[in-house]
Amino acid sequence: GESVGLHLPTLSVQEGDNSIINCAYSNSASDYFIWYKQESGKGPQFIIDIRSNMDKRQGQRVTVLLNKTVKHLSLQIAATQPGDSAVYFCAAPSGNTGKLIFGQGTTLQVKP
């Protein structure tokens, strides 16, 4: 089955700097990955996704990079703001029912 894991439990950055959150996965057959943001006391919020036929996908201030060779993906947040402070999860569907397997999460702390 699929497993996903994040490299660092906590990341602290200065406001205005770029943030990079990393994630590794185990199943080379995975074809879809999602990044979620979870603020304290709330449910996960979809940020961006990427399919395995892409290496990179950009959104508003966020970019996801996928390296299938080493089974690694990353979330880059440009010009990090205090409102970006949250826990970030990478996730991938497992099997054919769409259930998601989540990583442990990285807590992003933005220092003013």
Partner 1 sequence: NAGVMQNPRHLVRRRGQEARLRCSPMKGHSHVYWYRQLPEEGLKFMVYLQKENIIDESGMPKERFSAEFPKEGPSILRIQQVVRGDSAAYFCASSGLIENSYEQYFGPGTRLTVT
Nearer Cβ to partner 1 (9/82) = 9
Q: How far is the CB of 96 from partner 1 (least distance, A)?
A: 9
Q: How far is the CB of 61 from partner 1 (least distance, A)?
A: 20
Q: How far is the CB of 26 from partner 1 (least distance, A)?
A: 15
In angstroms, rounded to a whole number, what is the distance separating the alpha carbons of residues 78 and 17? 7
Nearer Cβ to partner 1 (53/60) = 53
What residues line the site for partner 1 (CB under 8 A)? 32, 34, 36, 41-46, 49, 89, 91, 93-95, 97-105
Nearer Cβ to partner 1 (15/31) = 31
> What SS3 state is found at 22?
strand
